[in-house]
Amino acid sequence: MSSRSPAAAAAVPEARISRRPRRPLVSRLRSGAAPYLLILPACVVIGAVLGYPLYFMGHLSLEHYGLFQLIRHQGEWIGLKNYSQIFHDGFFWHVVLRSLAFTAAAVSLTMVFGTLIALLLVQLGTKMRVLVTAGLIFVWATPVVVAVAVWSWMIDFEFGVLNWLLTYLNVGNFNHHDWFASTLSGWTVITSLVVWGAIPFVTLMVYAGLTQVPKELVEAATTDGASSWRVFRDVTVPLLKPIFVILISLSIIWDFQVFNQIWLLLDGQPPPQYFTMSIYAFTTSFQQSQYGLGSAIALVMVAILLIVSFVYIREMVKIGDAE
Amino acid sequence: MKFRIIAAVVLAAALATVASTATGSIKRATAQSVTVWVMTDAQNGWPGAIAAANAQFQQQHPGVNINIQYQTWDTVLQKFDAALAANDAPDVIELGNTQTAKYMAAGAFSSLKAKNFPNSSTWLSGLKSSCTYRGKLYCVPYYAGARAVIYRKDMYRQAGIKKLPTSYAQWLADGKKLMKKFGKNPNFSAFYEPGQNWYVATTFVEDWGGQLAVQQKNGKWKGTLDSPQAVKALTIFKSMVRKLSRASKSVDEAHPFPSIPFAKGRMASFIGNGWEWPYVFDPKGGAAPKSFAKKMGAYPMPSHIKGKYMPTFLGGSDLGIPISAHNKALGADWIKAFTGTQSETLIAKAGNIANTTKLANVNAHNPALAPFARAAKSSWFVPTSPNWTNVENSHLLKQMLTAILTNQKSVAAATKSASKQITTILNASS
Amino acid sequence: MSSKRSRRILWNSVALVVFAVMVFPVYWMVSTAFKPGNEIFANTPVWFPYHPTLSNFGDAIHRPHFWADVKNSLVIVCAVVLMSLVLAFLAALALAKFRFYGRKAFIVLIIAVQMIPLNALIIPIYLVLSKANKVNTLSGVIVTYLTFVLPFTIWTLRGFMIGVPRDLEEASQVDGTTRFGAFLRILLPLIGPGLVATSIFAFIQAWNEYIMAAVLLHDPSKQTLTVWLASFTGDRGTAWGPLMAGATLTALPVVIFFVAVQRKIAFGLTAGAVRG
């Protein structure tokens, strides 16, 4: 099996690794400066672009830094005051909960629909599969700025096609339906947009994984009398676990930081009920000119993200650490 | 294989361009140049005025590069903040007249001498005060805009409205007549008022004697939307909107531009800026036929006091020279060229109000634009606190209006919490 | 037999529904782009551009700086893709083929970098680039994008390299060629699909980014296509027809890139995703 596909495995199940003898190259190249020289360029780029900015952001979060200070390049040191202000702010905790709820909803919807469509692809004949794949690729290729433009055009209050269509299909009277008038329907639009844009990546990755599941295993399980659900649960899912770990981690990271979709859909002026953490950090910095406070919010956001995705990150590090 | 070759060529070309742009930028910095940030409005609406200013500037400074960098309202402040932080600001920047106070107070602009600029003795007082902080001038008035009712003459006639209303009561009665006549169409509004158009709502507040905020004797600000006058005005506004308008209650006047549904016959009137008139005919906008113009008219919004107009919001833009600009003198000269009589005439003809009262009559014989100039004679402006722009940026007025119009909150409750927020923001240390 | 056929019909119809729902926004964009104004703002939607016009495209292309911004976007994307492939290849090689002190730290680093909210770093990054005289230059944007593309590309390429069978490595050494040269010669073709998969990712990320480009590039003639597109919704009206035409044009290069590499996509993703 292992040598059938020449290039394989972004994520190798550990069970398989342990059976393998060590590679000769690894042992020979074990010591020396070679690996450091190899990662050096990447580290230099990341360090040059992010090193000082991250230090700057940390510093900023301990300062009172408004427009006045910005123009004079000189903040006022206030220690942890920004943080205590955040932690005592009820609205902030609302935003945190909202971001978490949105992330949970968007990630699970993306994973469920993405996987279902991938399973559907397996069932299809070649022509149908190419058609659906092509459609998915079109969606994937659509830049977020473009997607938001199209969606806001579709839900336009006066001339939007969606309101007309829903009315026409007798779903209800959607003439002049105001999608952002109620928070729930507004979030429905945002979530749909995000999930719609994220499905293709998930589907294509899961489908790629599904095609790699050995047919013999599935057949053996089926002849043993297992239902197709059990085959999926007991054979397919464990084999695809590395893929799911990566997809879920990335989805959590991306959805928790969601910004562009909400920002552009609401025309750069989202009302507080549409604030996620990154929007809160951004408006605090740029619209209220409280750069210190904004940086503190952003750093707290990173911390929360680390906590939320800890389990998955640990899995990822394990996968990455294995050879 | 072919693809690989093409890819290689593209990549090589890309790298070459990167290299050349990188070196190019260093060279250019040494040449004399003036960098100007103005909004795309000028690019789309009055490119002639820019060209005229550039020509005049070029005569005065041959060989100096003019670098006009058109900006959009969405991102200009973020860019400006970043540029200020890095001492990298342009030589001239356009800001909205409600945004200038914050930047003047923070010391973002160099101070100017009014007498050095054309027509400074006749500048519109509203714009001039938006450029003045603690008695000093920090920017130059660019242009202003006023709003008036744009309406369908034919619909008014069919609804039996013989002459234009001269009081709010009459105006409201006319609106009801229109709803009776055309209201069966579920898309029709007698008066189209997008719920978050806070300029119109505040116009009502001002007309009934209320204000957004007042400065007290001790210098502190106080949000006053919960004053009896303001609450009364907003209650009247709410009942009017619910009777006459079927516009969205959760968007502002830019989504869509009322001129588009107007061109499609979905309304008998709306309150708009002078430049929205031509937009009705824009093939990419309303796409109305030329003949539609005969059916259109405009008049200033009548006050609840018979014979008077409601005060209109005097929106506008100013041009400033950032404190960290590299070529301040050149920037000042470009502003002089751009705000001179010649350019300002072109700006006014594009549907705006020029920065000087000398040009007040430019559009007097243009039936489409004259009512806007008349409306501008009675105007209101936002509180002059440096923090006001933070109130606008927080969009709390828009959200208050949505809450009121959709019955999520009572007028009293919504205005009370909005006033409290306004008080907090205006008094925050900057 | 008939149950098999009816099942096939069922799956096909489900697939058609999925296809329609997913693709509709894209269809609506393209069809709006071809419609004249009165069909765009019609009181009942017009489903198909019966009177197709190119005027929206003409309008979009003739907006100032279109071609300059296309060029900028292409330059940025090509540079980011190429440089990220080279840098990621080297780093992935280290991760996949060497055990070294700090390896785990490097893995944590590339995962953590993805968690940093780009928006919060606008001013600090601007300051750094400004000190290096790189504000308002494409190279500044390229380096910034590179930072945020590299972690994923390193990660993915690492997966491909691990899969290279050791017998091939051994064989190359038996031949007596130099260690490193042989390694590259054997490795490069084998991880080709991985390079394709990661270049797609880098391409999409760099092509679609908006806020950084908007702030870092002052000059409209130096902006990217997404920033150009965003300027359609100015203060004075959203011109839906030209906007949709512009949106179509903006999405087009990505689609072309996909078509160009499409045969490799399926294989690349498959190979990189999991091993069988």
Residue that the structure tokens 């440089």 belong to: C83
Query: Distance between CA C26 and CA C252 in Å, rounded?
Result: 11
φ and ψ at residue A205, rounded to 5 degrees:
-65, -45
Query: Which amino acid is located at B323 in the chain?
Result: I
φ and ψ at residue B144, rounded to 5 degrees:
-130, 170
- Nearest CA to CA, how far is C28 from chain A (Å)? 8
- Nearest CA to CA, how far is C67 from chain A (Å)? 18
Assign B379 a pLDDT band (cuts: 50, 70, 90): confident
Q: With contact defined as beta carbons under 8 Å apart, do A264 and A256 qualify?
A: no
User: From B281, which residue of chain C is nearest by alpha-carbon distance?
Assistant: C37
Radius of gyration of chain A (CA): 24
* Cis preceding-peptide flag for A53 (omega within 30 of 0): no
Q: Is the pLDDT of residue C38 over 90?
A: no
Stated as kind and residue range, the H or E segment containing B139 is strand B139-145
φ and ψ at residue C62, rounded to 5 degrees:
-85, -5
Cross-chain Cβ contact C120/A285 below 8 Å:
yes
A69 to A290, B85, B108: CA distances (angstroms): 10, 9, 11
Mean pLDDT of all residues in chain B?
Answer: 88
Chain A positions touching C170 (Cβ under 8 A) are 24
Q: What percent of chain B has pLDDT over 90?
A: 64
Query: Looking at the partner chain, which of A56, A141, A212 has a beta carbon nearest the beta carbon of C127?
Result: A56
Query: Distance between CA A285 and CA A294 in Å, rounded?
Result: 5
φ and ψ at residue B217, rounded to 5 degrees:
-60, -35
φ and ψ at residue C131, rounded to 5 degrees:
-65, -30
A159 to B257, C43, C243: CA distances (angstroms): 12, 7, 15
Stated as kind and residue range, the H or E segment containing A63 is strand A63-64
Chains touching chain A through at least 3 C-beta pairs below 8 angstroms are B, C
Assign B192 a pLDDT band (cuts: 50, 70, 90): very high
Q: Is the pLDDT of residue C175 over 50?
A: yes
Torsion sign, CA atoms A98, A104, A107, A109: negative
For C22, the token pair is 């997913």
Q: Quick check: helix, strand or coil at residue A179?
A: coil
Rounded average pLDDT over C244-249: 89
Query: Looking at the partner chain, which of C100, C265, C275 has a beta carbon nearest the beta carbon of A8?
Result: C275
User: Which long-range CB contacts under 8 A does A159-164 form with residues at least 24 apart?
Assistant: A159/B256, A159/B260, A159/B261, A159/C40, A159/C41, A159/C42, A159/C45, A161/C28, A161/C45, A164/C44, A164/C45
User: From A206, which residue of chain C is nearest by alpha-carbon distance?
Assistant: C273
Cross-chain Cβ contact B251/A157 below 8 Å:
yes
Strand partners, B320: B93, B139
pLDDT of residue C274: 42
Residue that the structure tokens 């400006």 belong to: B80
Rounded average pLDDT over C234-240: 62
Distant-in-sequence, close-in-space partners of C245: CB < 8 Å, separation ≥ 6: C33, C56, C57, C59, C60
B107-134: pLDDT as tens digits: 999 999 999 999 999 999 889 989 999 9
Q: What percent of chain C has pLDDT over 70?
A: 84
pLDDT of residue C250: 86
DSSP secondary structure code for residue B193 in this structure: -
User: From A173, which residue of chain B is nearest by alpha-carbon distance?
Assistant: B186
Helices then strands, each counted (H, E), chain A? 18, 2
Query: Distance between CA A29 and CA A32 in Å, rounded?
Result: 7
Rounded average pLDDT over A206-233: 81
A63-96: pLDDT as tens digits: 999 888 988 888 899 989 999 999 999 999 999 9
B47 to B39, B43, B327, B342, B356: CA distances (angstroms): 11, 5, 24, 13, 20
Q: Which of C78, C134, C232, C243 to mutate to test the interface with B (most CBs of B within 10 A)?
A: C78
Rounded average pLDDT over B350-360: 89
DSSP secondary structure code for residue A29 in this structure: T
Query: Distance between CA C126 and CA C121 in Å, rounded?
Result: 8
Question: What is the full DSSP assignment across B260-296?
Answer: HHHHTT-BSEEEEETTHHHHTT-TTTT---GGGGGGE
pLDDT of residue C160: 77
Question: What is the full DSSP assignment across B56-101?
Answer: HHHHHSTTPEEEEEEE-HHHHHHHHHHHHHTT---SEEEEETTTHH
**Residue C263 exposed, middle or buried by CB count within 10 Å (0-12, 13-18, 19+):** exposed
Q: How many CB atoms lie within 10 A of CB A44?
A: 12
Assign B403 a pLDDT band (cuts: 50, 70, 90): very high
Query: Looking at the partner chain, which of C37, C133, C236 has a beta carbon nearest the beta carbon of B44?
Result: C236
Stated as kind and residue range, the H or E segment containing A37 is helix A34-46
Q: C-alpha angle with apex B3: B2 to B4, nearest 5 degrees?
A: 90
C51-81: pLDDT as tens digits: 898 988 998 888 878 899 999 999 999 999 9
User: From C45, which residue of chain A is nearest by alpha-carbon distance?
Assistant: A161
Question: What is the full DSSP assignment across A234-268?
Answer: IIIHHHHHHHHHHHHHHHHHHHHT--HHHHHHTTT
The model carries a pTM of 0.83
Distant-in-sequence, close-in-space partners of C9: CB < 8 Å, separation ≥ 6: none
* Lowest-pLDDT range of A76-80, B240-244, C197-201: C197-201
C82-106: pLDDT as tens digits: 999 999 999 998 888 788 888 888 9
Rounded average pLDDT over B99-109: 93
Among A residues 59-78, those touching chain C with beta carbons less than 8 Å apart:
60, 70
Beta strands in B21-117 (DSSP E): 33-39, 65-71, 92-96
Among A residues 156-215, those touching chain C with beta carbons less than 8 Å apart:
158-159, 161, 164-165, 196, 199-200, 204-205, 208-209, 211-214
Residue that the structure tokens 């070029």 belong to: B58
Query: Which amino acid is located at A320 in the chain?
Result: G
pLDDT top residue among A15 and B192: B192
pLDDT of residue B430: 58
Stated as kind and residue range, the H or E segment containing C56 is helix C55-61
pLDDT of residue A23: 47
pLDDT of residue A323: 57
Chain B positions touching A271 (Cβ under 8 A) are 395, 398-399, 402
Query: Distance between CA A90 and CA C156 in Å, rounded?
Result: 41
Q: Quick check: helix, strand or coil at residue B65?
A: strand
Query: What's the length of chain B?
Result: 430
Q: Is the pLDDT of residue B255 over 80?
A: no
Query: Looking at the partner chain, which of C37, C139, C235 has a beta carbon nearest the beta carbon of B254?
Result: C235
Cross-chain Cβ contact A12/C255 below 8 Å:
no
**Residue B20 exposed, middle or buried by CB count within 10 Å (0-12, 13-18, 19+):** exposed
For C248, the token pair is 């179509």
